[in-house]
Amino acid sequence: MHDGSMERQQLLHYEEILRNAGQFVTVQRRALLKYLLRHRVHPTTAQIASAIGRSGSASLATVYNNLALFAELQIIRSLRSPKGEVHWDIRTDRHHHLVCSECRLVSDLSEDQVAISVHEPTLASRIQRTEAWLVWTCMDCQPPEPPSN
């Protein structure tokens, strides 16, 4: 979990980006940013709307519109998982994603944790950047190994 002062600094930074773009920092936008800072599990729009909606601070349309605005301002990124679901990532640097095929939990992997090779020289020379989704079974979903005799 991130400590409160770091979260506060990041929140102030994102609020400054909004203001510099001529946008108001509303209660709803602040609630969305706080949620994304506290839940770095690449939530879907439905998950965010459900959590924010429970608090009564934003309607579904407000959530959708503000996520689109945050993506436009490069505060967050939208990601489409291998199953086609749209996830939101507050981490905007280059990195890869690990998704559980069972529970669909998404985790980050830094670039140095994954090696991607393109063997076709013509294609390799045109690659601008790489972003991979690695599908696995997380430790919580992995069936226990049978005891050895």
Per-residue pLDDT 10s for the chain (149 aa) are 456 789 999 999 999 999 999 999 999 999 999 999 999 889 998 899 888 877 666 788 889 999 999 999 999 999 998 888 899 999 999 899 999 999 988 999 998 999 899 999 999 999 998 888 999 999 999 888 877 76
Question: Same domain for 61 and 108?
Answer: no
> By the 8 A CB rule, do 58 and 50 touch?
no
Question: Same domain for 24 and 54?
Answer: yes
Residue that the structure tokens 């690695």 belong to: 134
Question: Same domain for 52 and 16?
Answer: yes
Residue 141 is assigned to a structural domain of this protein: no
Question: Same domain for 74 and 102?
Answer: no
Parent domain of 50: 4-80
Model pLDDT, residue 131: 86
Model pLDDT, residue 1: 46
Question: Same domain for 69 and 121?
Answer: no
> By the 8 A CB rule, do 41 and 91 touch?
no
Question: Same domain for 20 and 56?
Answer: yes
Question: Same domain for 98 and 76?
Answer: no
Model pLDDT, residue 56: 64
**Segment holding 106, helix H or strand E:** strand 106-110
The alpha carbon torsion through 105, 94, 132, 102 (nearest 10 deg) reads 0
Number of domains in the chain: 2
> By the 8 A CB rule, do 41 and 1 touch?
no
Is the sign of the CA dihedral 16, 72, 6, 29 positive or negative? Answer: positive
> Residue 78 pairs with which residues in a beta bridge?
88
Tokens representing 139 are 């430790």
Say what the pTM is: 0.81
Residue 70 is assigned to a structural domain of this protein: yes
Question: Same domain for 12 and 73?
Answer: yes
Question: Same domain for 32 and 74?
Answer: yes
- 121 in helix, strand or coil? helix
Residue 57 is assigned to a structural domain of this protein: yes
Residue 87 is assigned to a structural domain of this protein: no
